[in-house]
Amino acid sequence: MRLFDAHCHFDFPEFDGRREREVARARAVGVQGLVMPGVRRADWGRLASLAAPETGLWYCLGIHPWFVGEHDSEDLDALAAALASKPSGCLAIGECGLDALQGSMEEQVPWFVAQVQLAARLDFPLVIHSVKAHDQVAALLRSERWQGRALIHGFSGSYQQACHFIELGCYIGVGGVITHDRAKKTRDVISRLPADVLVLETDAPDMSPAGVPKGQNSPVYIPGIFAQLAGLRGEDEGWLAEALMANVGRLYGLTPDLLAPS
């Protein structure tokens, strides 16, 4: 069975010194690739140097809502220039978005709008961080007349909010949240969504699944999240795994064979 981690902060220092081992462990359990989102300009160089498409390591460039304060307009110009060169291994813009629980949404909005516009102009998919801000994110995509592909990563929200995102062409990121019994609402929503919009992700090292200590999440836990998902939805595991690979391929604009070389 082939699986993929569509959103994993594999460039973070938490993985220093053990990346090769983690990649080998992940491959051993069927996880054949991952996408590392960019959160701040200071990390972009590290992402590009870690990327290795031939072994399934991909990345994105972007400015995360938590870090907008350390950037200025020159950084947006640098982002545009970097993306316009279509760097090898770079698949999307993000993670960008809005977070009502950290920082000021007022300050975050212009950075998100700029990245949505850049993605539309350069034809890149978007990786979106949306925390307690789903309605604002959806309204903003609508007012920008977003026509592209996007991932709402680590989705946790209502069925109706998920449907609004799907109408806007978004994929729904499914992570460790669904392994926790307390996440009743999210588990119920995810079990009812169409299979062709779901994408597996860990958000490692954060968002630990049940039984994994905080901050120690890793792409090796994708199969556990996947098994929960198949169980919740009552779908055949072989069928669902192939469907999820096709979804992440469509999201990032690559065939599953290129995205997750075996």
Residues that bind Zn ion (CB under 5 A): 203
- To Zn ion, the closest distance from the beta carbon of 29 in angstroms equals 21
Cβ proximity to Zn ion: between 66 and 226 the closer is 66
Burial of 109 (0-12, 13-18, 19+ CB in 10 A): middle
- To Zn ion, the closest distance from the beta carbon of 60 in angstroms equals 10
Per the CB < 8 A criterion, the answer to whether 31 and 222 are in contact is yes
Cβ proximity to Zn ion: between 43 and 203 the closer is 203
- To Zn ion, the closest distance from the beta carbon of 217 in angstroms equals 11
Cβ proximity to Zn ion: between 22 and 203 the closer is 203
- To Zn ion, the closest distance from the beta carbon of 92 in angstroms equals 12
Cβ proximity to Zn ion: between 65 and 223 the closer is 65
Closest residue (Cβ) to Zn ion? 203
Torsion of CA 112, 114, 116, 117, to 10 degrees: 160
Looking up tokens 């989102």, which residue turns up?
A: 37
